[in-house]
Structure 1
Amino acid sequence: MFFKKRKSKQKGEVKEQIINVTIGQVRQAVNEYADGLKQGISLRTLILDDHSIDFHLLKGTLKGLPSQPFYMSKETFEIFETAELPKQIDNVQKAVDQYMQETGEEPIIPGNPDRKISYYLIRHYLHNKPEVELYLDKRDKMVTHRRPE
């Protein structure tokens, strides 16, 4: 998944420095990258097809390549240490957006104070039912795995 060696313009091969990073350091590097993007360029340029982050674009900020992969949602841009959660969040976010566009209503369980998403209401828009509880943020209408406080 990650390349430990990469050809340089000079003779031979140069080893990339492999580093240990925290998820917080990855978030900070992604934020710096986002701040430097030209208008019209999406943060999705960092996200590979399997939802892993392309750290070759961040190695200057991080001063190396992480020793383990990190993953990002293409819809909410949240960063995770596992691959499955961003895929599930993206699937649900698309379903929520379609449901809200068609009905004008939020697909949350009626009376639920945590704004838990009703998978029943969005069942026709879901490809797969998520294995985790997901919530709808009150302010930006984005799907999250974090239970509101």
Structure 2
Amino acid sequence: MIFKRAKKNSPTVPLTVTLPQIKQAVRQFEEDMPAPINRTALIMEDKSIDLSRLKRYLGGVPEQKFYMSRETFEIFEESDKLVPYYLDLVQSAVDNYISDTGKLPLVEDAWLPEVHYRLLATERYLKETPPFPLYITEEEMMLTHRPEYFES
């Protein structure tokens, strides 16, 4: 099959994709890359995903932005772009706290395993407090912002 090259001045139709499509493209990218390269290679400084590198899986470069946590690999839409920033910031603080003390930095008497921001800040592990709670999961002590994760 022969494809015609688009003229330079011809208008292009913006590509719109869904979060599941982005997640699938990221998984495919990781599967296709040689061993030392993983999905974190797609994360730019602002936590956005370099969608131009997913062009072959998506059929073009989407008009919207998506973001990924370097620590948890979770992918977010533009409306939740602060979540990966805070996940990475707090995950690092939690990991360091556990490494230094052997304890989990949890809010006492909380129904869910909520990260104790004040404790981490007081002990100088955390410089900035997220505007929403984060929780420590039993899966490798990774964080989540979703309280529904703990529902049975």
- TM category, shorter: 0.7 to 0.9
Structure 1 vs Structure 2 CA RMSD: 2.2
- How far residue 77 of structure 1 moved from its aligned partner, in angstroms, is 1.2
User: So what's the TM-score if we normalise by structure 2?
Assistant: 0.83
Which shows bigger deviation, 87-96 or 29-38? 29-38
| Alignment gaps of 5+ in structure 1 | 1-9
Deviations 1:82-141 (A, max 9, x none): 321111111101100110110111112234342111112211111200001101111221
1:1-149 alignment runs, 5 A limit:
12=8, 18-82=14-78, 83-123=81-121, 124-147=124-147, 148-149=150-151
Q: Distance in 2 between matches of 1:91 and 1:103?
A: 18
Structure number with higher strand proportion: 1
Contact 2:30 2:37 in 1 (8 A): no
Contact 1:96 1:106 in 2 (8 A): yes
SS at match of 1:68: coil
CA change 1:110–1:50 in 2 (3 A) is same
Bigger Rg, which one: 2
User: So what's the TM-score if we normalise by structure 1?
Assistant: 0.84
- How far residue 13 of structure 1 moved from its aligned partner, in angstroms, is 7.0
- Counting aligned pairs with the same residue, the percent is 39
Which shows bigger deviation, 111-120 or 98-107? 111-120
Structure number with higher helix proportion: 2
| Alignment gaps of 5+ in structure 2 | 1-5
